[in-house]
Structure 1
Amino acid sequence: MQTRYPSLVTALRTHASDHPEDRAYVFLGERGEEASVLTYAELDRRASALARVMAAKAGPGERALLAFPPGLEFLVAFFACQYAGIVAVPTILPRQMRLRDSSISIVEDCAPRLGLTTAAAREAVSAAYAQVPAARSMEWLGVDAHATDDSGPPLAVKEPDPNAITLLQYTSGSTSAPKGVMVSHGNLCANVEMISQGGDLWRHATRVGWIPMYHDMGLIFNALQSAYVGAQCVLMSPQAFVAHPLSWPRAISTYRAEMAIAPNFAYDLCLEKYDAERMKGADLSCWELALNGAEPVRASTITRFAEVFAAHGLPRFSPRPTYGMAEATLQISVGKRGSPPRLWNVGRESLQKDRALAPAPGERSQDLVGCGRALTGEKLAIVAPDSHQRLPPGHVGEIWVHGPNVAHGYWRKADATREIFEARIVGEDGATWLRTGDLGCMDDTGELFITGRLKDILIIRGSNFYPQDLELTAEKSHPAIRRGHSAAFTLEGSQEQEQLVIACEVREDQVAGLDVADVVGAVRRAVVHEHELTTYKVLLTTSGAIPRTTSGKIRRKATRELWQKEQLPLVGQS
């Protein structure tokens, strides 16, 4: 695939030379003030200085763990890795300096030589990782203490090999333990080029984001794609967004951002906290692409967000679904800019039989949300997960991907790499495909519709049910239930395998005086009416109790395990 630049190294150095004083990144403080700014020249200079120090301590291909609080130091560290030929491994900063199990697994899996963080956090972070035997030989560097040192000789930066691994992006582990996706320089450039073309996003397309840099959507879609085209990227912390969701659209208005992306729950949160007075004076006419991805996209969220924020100038067709995953570097499909999102009304009974058909008379239906078509240079296929045969339009199967954005496999996991990255469609040429593990279908035009996750699907009385459909029904049944904060699962065990349990978070302002029986009854009635299913247990939890991945996906298995261990904080159950 032809890309504008052969690598991000070349892209950054070109922008630093051609328009050095242009802003590359802006980080906003808790009150929306500009806490720090990096121009392209400053980013190049600081990354070069840090890369010189790193290159003296680690060789090309060795790994560096990136564990940062919100801010711009992460980006200096990432580009320093690019310059030095060291593989970047983004990870979450330890909370209260306690490591998550996933963080321990990452260190044990990739054996990093270096650890990068801020000078202020270096001592505490290194102490936290010292608990892990595999991390004891790591050397931790405070980025801001080294990135400003220009006293040494300049680093000779070479054009990287397109096939060389530059990023280990560990999966969020919503259905399994985290695995390190090996992303090459070529993968990165191919995908940011695809994103640029698919969204028509070039140098003057500012974006505003709050998704953390250790997540592929925050890193690649926001930060790296902007650096590739020489645009401005405005960042804020996830904590600032969660505390004040409307600060995000207000920042979009202030900086005249053309694009912003977030998971579905973020748009729900903006709707939940919407206050016309707090949005007074905001002009969202600039926001041409409000991309929604990383978790199931709900038609009701897209419609409501467009309707509510139209009062502030949001273009009618700005809300747009997109689909992607770490194994494809990031983006896989997106709808055409300026066109309405595609909705496909299908019968529920046919969907349970893996067909997307118009509802029969009297049959209940639902809207599937289109996530666009294949990107430039990429191919998509719907394949029967067992027989590996290509399925025609309107049939539900596993989504397979072929293209230059597909990563090289999983780090040190040869068997999993063969199974997931080297699949072949029966009866076709020898091309290898990525198995996404997601279920979906395509219509006659090639539009992709996601129906669920293969490992998440619930089989009850011999029929397939998608947990997100049951969760949405429960959330709509009563105003006390939070939108986008439910988990549906079945119980394990031969006698209880098909018994449905739905856990729902209760809104904080509804906990006092909550009529548990009323809420539980509403959920049960709605599930019977919409899906003809009996709910064995309805669990009402406190706000924030249901676990999520770093990308915001509901961890249903983890929710079930917490409940079975009596560790799920409950407001009530029945």
Structure 2
Amino acid sequence: MAYRFLARDADGDPSITYGELHERAQRVAASLQAAGLRGERVLLYVGTSVDFLVSFFGILLAGAVAVPLSPPHLSRALARSESIVRNAGARMAIVPGTMLKRFVQLQASNEAFAALQLTTPDELAAGTSGRCIDATASSESLAVLQYTSGSTATPKGVCISHGNFLHNAAMISRAMGLSERTVGVSWLPLHHDMGLMTGVIGPLFNGCLMTLMPASAFVSDPLAWLKALTRQRATVTGAPNFAYELCLEKVLPEQLADLDLSSLEVAFCGAETVCADTLTRFASRFEACGFRSRSFFPCYGLAEATLMVSGGPAGEAARFVTVATSALGQGRVAAPRADEPAQRLVSCGQALAGLDVAIVDTDTLRPCPADRVGEVWVRGSSVARGYWGLPSETEAVFNARMAGEGGAGFLRTGDLGFVRDGELTIVGRLKELIVICGVNHHPQDIEATVETCHPAIGRHAGVALPLEENGRESLLIVQEIKRTWRSDPQPVLDAIMAEVAQRHGIRPAVVVLVSHGSLPRTTSGKLQRCVARAAHLGGRLDVVARSDVPAPGPGPLHPQPVAA
């Protein structure tokens, strides 16, 4: 058996062997080749299922390029999908049979989808009796366009080759100690880079058994993940930090007796900031279930490097790095004094074999000293070749060079970190992305939404910021209110909360209204997000109202002395 899918009904868990997968994927590939799609991009709107695997590998066997996507079910997802359809230039979309009617309706109302040829996995499998023509790929052949998960309306398609997949799979397997005896369980969405690599490509590379479950099953009941690990005697699993935090929040003490996590050898944690407190509390809570803290495998990566850049080592406890908060704020790495505020960071391990990681000063483009924070640059065989159809951005991001150096270019990750004792630690984001539940949200997009949702709000007068609460990253919005507004501020707060939730799929943890002109700006008038966040944390904002404190009644508004 190759892959098993956990079912929610009484019909049993669907499964497929490697032989069955190859045979069925061959039939799909033959149909795609008969449609003249060799070398073309094929959109794959199929969720976690046998049909996803058959369709995905069928696309690759046909010599086409897979574009795995989540079905557009909300207005925000539809706008993102429109952008992808236009950028990818795909001629065909594979959709579930249960959604075909909806996609036909979408074609009639949306120009971006109108020219797509729609088909289903069943139609492709029954479309021809012949076998596909061998479409042998080289290591440089394009395999997948992995569209970045940001909330921007113009997501970028990362061009991942067959060689990229093979190198990253091999290096991840080496770092984690995976083999044909590995037993995996994953709920990660297969259209995301982490889910695709660890739930589909990795198991195929090692020839091991992988049990897959839909992400919705985990989100609605985190205990289902832990029960699957127990039932399958899993040796490897993984998720972003928020998933471990959700288990701590939702799994009740009386439910621990039914869990056995003693078989787990690797529990990787990545895709967003790895929180030391979360790892410590999870290990303590589930120790009674046989979970060992040394199973944690903190890691760092990004779609532009196929998936993983650094991690581990496997079988050893996660390493924490305690640094002085004030020094870190200045870009320095220093041990705290006894009376000095400090924070615990999590090491994301050594760079995978075959990858070079450099910490670079973005002003001088020279390597940073060991005690300095800089941008993380990466080069090697896992690094993708660029963004589809975006040559200028590809050159800037994938072909960076340090001052005075030639040779192969680096990938600029946009993340900030440092290397100590050969291990990479991530401290922040140069790009100012906000990552919630493993999804990137550009602050500019959220700010644009906020400034149009109520007449009391002016343009270019607010910031969207990351806020850490209980080990999970959430959203803080700080927005200036017009000087002329004299009514109740509560409708303004409500409008911001509702519009951001509708447009971006996230609910702000806190919305703070401040007086006109009080947000920090540069001399050129540019809002300073980091300074604004520090002012919020330090209680220095000129607060008018905030969503977690009762707002004043109607009448002239005056700043409230509300602590952060």
Instruction: Give the structure-1-normalised TM-score.
Output: 0.78
Does 2:332 correspond to 1:324? no
Query: Aligned ranges for residues 440-455 of structure 1 at < 5 Å?
Result: 440-443=417-420, 445-455=421-431
More deviation, 62-71/409-418: 62-71
In the alignment, is the contact (CA less than 8 A) between 1:48 and 1:83 conserved in 2? yes
Task: Tell me: CA distance 1:529–1:386, structure 2 relative to 1, closer, same or farther (3 Å).
Answer: closer
Letter in 1 for 2:263: C
- The separation in 1 between residues aligned to 2:244 and 2:93, in whole angstroms, is 34
Match of residue 76, structure 1, among 54, 62, 73:
54
Task: Tell me: CA distance 1:492–1:74, structure 2 relative to 1, closer, same or farther (3 Å).
Answer: farther
Q: What SS does structure 1 have at the residue aligned with 2:547? A: strand
More deviation, 415-424/377-386: 377-386
Match of residue 147, structure 1, among 125, 129, 141:
125
Does 2:462 correspond to 1:486? no
- The separation in 2 between residues aligned to 1:419 and 1:340, in whole angstroms, is 37
Q: What SS does structure 2 have at the residue aligned with 1:147? A: helix
Letter in 1 for 2:476: A
- The separation in 1 between residues aligned to 2:256 and 2:342, in whole angstroms, is 36
Match of residue 212, structure 2, among 235, 238, 247:
235
- The separation in 2 between residues aligned to 1:243 and 1:274, in whole angstroms, is 12
Offset at 1:31?
5.9
Match of residue 108, structure 1, among 78, 81, 86:
86
Does 2:51 correspond to 1:51? no
Does 2:354 correspond to 1:377? yes
Task: Tell me: CA distance 1:252–1:393, structure 2 relative to 1, closer, same or farther (3 Å).
Answer: same
Q: What SS does structure 2 have at the residue aligned with 1:58? A: coil
In the alignment, is the contact (CA less than 8 A) between 1:327 and 1:406 conserved in 2? yes
Q: What SS does structure 2 have at the residue aligned with 1:227? A: helix
Offset at 1:227?
0.9
In the alignment, is the contact (CA less than 8 A) between 1:226 and 1:233 conserved in 2? yes
Seq. identity, %: 37
Task: Tell me: CA distance 1:491–1:441, structure 2 relative to 1, closer, same or farther (3 Å).
Answer: farther
Does 2:314 correspond to 1:340? no
- The separation in 1 between residues aligned to 2:321 and 2:537, in whole angstroms, is 19
Letter in 2 for 1:358: A
Does 2:304 correspond to 1:298? no
Task: Tell me: CA distance 1:485–1:454, structure 2 relative to 1, closer, same or farther (3 Å).
Answer: closer
How many residue pairs get matched? 481
More deviation, 166-175/413-422: 166-175
Letter in 1 for 2:103: V
Q: What SS does structure 2 have at the residue aligned with 1:317? A: helix
Offset at 1:35?
3.3
- The separation in 1 between residues aligned to 2:194 and 2:280, in whole angstroms, is 23
- Structure 2: runs of 5+ lacking an equivalent: 435-463, 484-492, 499-508, 514-532, 550-562
Matched residue, 1:87? 65
- The separation in 1 between residues aligned to 2:153 and 2:408, in whole angstroms, is 27
Task: Tell me: CA distance 1:232–1:112, structure 2 relative to 1, closer, same or farther (3 Å).
Answer: same
Match of residue 38, structure 2, among 54, 60, 79:
60
**1:322-347 Cα distance to aligned partner (Å, 9 max, x none):** 11101001111101011111111111
- The separation in 2 between residues aligned to 1:220 and 1:426, in whole angstroms, is 34
- The separation in 2 between residues aligned to 1:179 and 1:87, in whole angstroms, is 15
Task: Tell me: CA distance 1:176–1:153, structure 2 relative to 1, closer, same or farther (3 Å).
Answer: closer
Query: Aligned ranges for residues 460-499 of structure 1 at < 5 Å?
Result: 471-472=467-468, 475-476=469-470, 484=472, 486-488=474-476, 490-491=478-479
Letter in 2 for 1:449: T
Task: Tell me: CA distance 1:125–1:373, structure 2 relative to 1, closer, same or farther (3 Å).
Answer: same
Offset at 1:282?
2.0
Matched residue, 2:398? 421
Letter in 1 for 2:35: K
In the alignment, is the contact (CA less than 8 A) between 2:80 and 2:153 conserved in 1? no
Offset at 1:161?
1.7
- The separation in 2 between residues aligned to 1:430 and 1:64, in whole angstroms, is 35
Offset at 1:457?
8.1
Matched residue, 1:263? 240
- The separation in 2 between residues aligned to 1:94 and 1:271, in whole angstroms, is 31
In the alignment, is the contact (CA less than 8 A) between 1:302 and 1:320 conserved in 2? no
Task: Tell me: CA distance 1:98–1:326, structure 2 relative to 1, closer, same or farther (3 Å).
Answer: closer
Offset at 1:280?
2.2
More deviation, 279-288/238-247: 279-288
- Structure 1: runs of 5+ lacking an equivalent: 1-22, 459-465, 477-482, 496-500, 506-515, 521-526, 542-572
Offset at 1:228?
1.1
**1:227-249 Cα distance to aligned partner (Å, 9 max, x none):** 11111111111111111101101
Task: Tell me: CA distance 1:304–1:52, structure 2 relative to 1, closer, same or farther (3 Å).
Answer: same
Letter in 2 for 1:310: E
